[in-house]
Amino acid sequence: MAFLKRLRNLSSMDNTGFGTASNNTGGRFFNKDGKPNARKKGVGILDRYSWYHTLIEMKAGRFMLLLFLIYICINLIFAGVYYLIGIDHLSGVNSGSPWKNFTEVFFFSAQTFTTVGYGRISPVGFMASAVSTFEAFLGLLSFAIATGLFYGRFARPQIFLRFSDNAVIAPYKDGTALMFRMAPYKNNSLSEAEVKLTLAVSTEENGKSVDKFYSLDMDISKINVLALSWTIVHPINEKSPLWGFTKEDIGSTDMEMMVFVKAFDEVFSNNVMGRTSYIASQIVYGAKFNIMYHPNDDKTLTILDMDKLNDYDMVPLPEPVISITEGDMTS
């Protein structure tokens, strides 16, 4: 095919960090949330995961639930130990049914673990005192770790940026362009925002399937301040790897556009990063994004409406058409 011959003549990239053999990779390179679509094998689960990274990146609700479950489980274990030692080694326990006795030692364990120590129940004898001493020590360590995780989650630099669900091929000047957009959704201040685009295309060379990577030029790749929405535009012209592609060509070619965003957060005083990717099924042919910001009623303030991040209208494209239809291809 003519478009494949043209791609072979274009200079490709070899510093993407991904291999070139298509048979050695599966699916897309990056998931929509920006995480690499890869899983490690050959190491134990304790070595495979950094638990600090896992807990820092875990969703807030799941993180809180995990801490609560760990807290309950630890107290259940210590309550079982106290119960086996015997409730007669805990002064102040009002003896009753086995369930009542167990709840008494469970709450004593919770008071010891948190170092609250109300004083109604106290250990008697060496074994009960030794276990309570160890539990209090473990509680101090556990709460120090939990506090550090809370601070790490609260203070971790994040870009707080949302990307449109779809990219579009829209009219642009006298031709067409591949576009997507993004917008900050919190009250953070991002400056010196910069975007890099890489197009991955699977082609065949010498009877072997290989992945080729191409840098996509943008109309504007860097802006001073990212305060409103920013539509990234890749003009489809003679310099573009997509130039000359027909609807059928792109529909039969494995491709993925990878997006890398870097900006400086003035509050964190640090660079923050964002990533995502779009495959062909996420690209809408013949569409144009609607403006997602407007002035307030007295025109003294600009309103950025995040609900309109994915809003677009279908529009006709000028000829010749470089098209990708939704659902043509998955990577």
Asked if the model's pLDDT at residue 14 lies above 70, the reply is: no
Q: How much is the pLDDT for 11?
A: 64
CB proximity list for 309: less than 8 A, separation 6 or greater: 162, 164, 181, 183, 229, 292
For 272-299, how does the pLDDT look when each residue is reduced to its tens digit (9 = 90+)?
Answer: 999 999 998 888 888 999 999 999 999 9
For 196-236, how does the pLDDT look when each residue is reduced to its tens digit (9 = 90+)?
Answer: 999 988 877 777 777 888 999 999 999 999 999 999 999 99
Rounded Cα distance between 179 and 221, Å, is 12
**Do 292 and 305 form a contact (C-beta atoms < 8 A)?**
yes
**Do 317 and 176 form a contact (C-beta atoms < 8 A)?**
yes
Query: Is 46-155 in the same CATH topology as 2-38+158-314?
Result: no
The class of domain 2-38+158-314 in CATH terms is mainly beta
Q: Which CATH architecture has domain 46-155?
A: Orthogonal Bundle (1.10)
Q: How much is the pLDDT for 15?
A: 65
For 19-31, how does the pLDDT look when each residue is reduced to its tens digit (9 = 90+)?
Answer: 665 556 777 888 8
* 182: number of Cβ within 10 Å: 22
Q: How much is the pLDDT for 220?
A: 94
For 70-82, how does the pLDDT look when each residue is reduced to its tens digit (9 = 90+)?
Answer: 999 999 999 999 9
Sequence ranges of the domains in the chain: 2-38+158-314, 46-155
Q: What is the dihedral of CA 299, 301, 305, 306, to 10 degrees?
A: 170
For 119-154, how does the pLDDT look when each residue is reduced to its tens digit (9 = 90+)?
Answer: 888 999 999 999 999 999 999 999 999 999 999 998
Look at residue 264 and give its three-state secondary structure: strand
Q: How many residues does the chain have?
A: 331
